[in-house]
Amino acid sequence: MAEDDAKEEAPVKAGAGKKMILIIIAGVLLLGGGGGAAWYFMGGTEEKPAEHDEHAKAETGHEEPGPVMELDPFLLNLADREELRFLKVSIKLELDRAEEKTDYQNKIPAIRDALLVLLSSKESQLLRTVNGKRRVREEIMTRVNGVMSKGKVANVYFTDFIIQ
């Protein structure tokens, strides 16, 4: 009987060993396949860095600046309550594409109106600080982009900024 027990245990151990080998082989294949896929998708060829550089340029800004359009200067009253204050500002808008591919020319009256309302609602204390000017620049971009249906404004430039 002892011999029968020994014979029964031997096939069980051999079957368990085969299962273990299959599990190890499957794990190695899975890891190898995952590593190969990661290498392929993460840029395993020499041509990928050039594409990455172009993608990085697209994320950081334009390769070439778009056309810069100048608006007529604004001369307006500010919203100060203590004293009467005036603002004279000249603004240039950089478009994201050629002017012909936008509706900029048709929207100039609406753009000027939106900016006139925006700027006349500001107080001189806000406009005197650098952060205030940055905030107004962002608001101008948002307002103009809201008016335009074809094309967008990429940057806003102040060329004159006088508070009196």
Kindly report, residue by residue over 12-59, the tens digit of the pLDDT.
555 777 888 888 888 787 777 777 777 677 765 555 444 544 554 555
What CA–CA distances, in Å, run from 89 to 71, 92, 157, 162? Answer: 10, 10, 10, 6
pLDDT for res 21: 86
With a cut of 90, say whether residue 85 has pLDDT above it: yes
pTM of the model: 0.60
Residue 129, both tokens: 């600080």
Owner of token pair 């998708």: 41
The span from the CA of 69 to the CA of 157, in Å, is 10
Question: What single-letter amino acid sits at 80?
Answer: D
pLDDT for res 3: 54
pLDDT for res 49: 47
Kindly report, residue by residue over 136-145, the tens digit of the pLDDT.
999 999 999 9
Residue 16, both tokens: 């368990």
Question: To 5 degrees, how large is the angle CA 119–CA 163–CA 108?
Answer: 35
Kindly report, residue by residue over 146-158, the tens digit of the pLDDT.
999 999 999 999 9
Residue 60, both tokens: 């950081």
Residue 93 or residue 14, greater confidence = 93
What CA–CA distances, in Å, run from 153 to 13, 96, 108, 127, 128? Answer: 74, 6, 13, 21, 24
Mean pLDDT, rounded, of the chain: 82
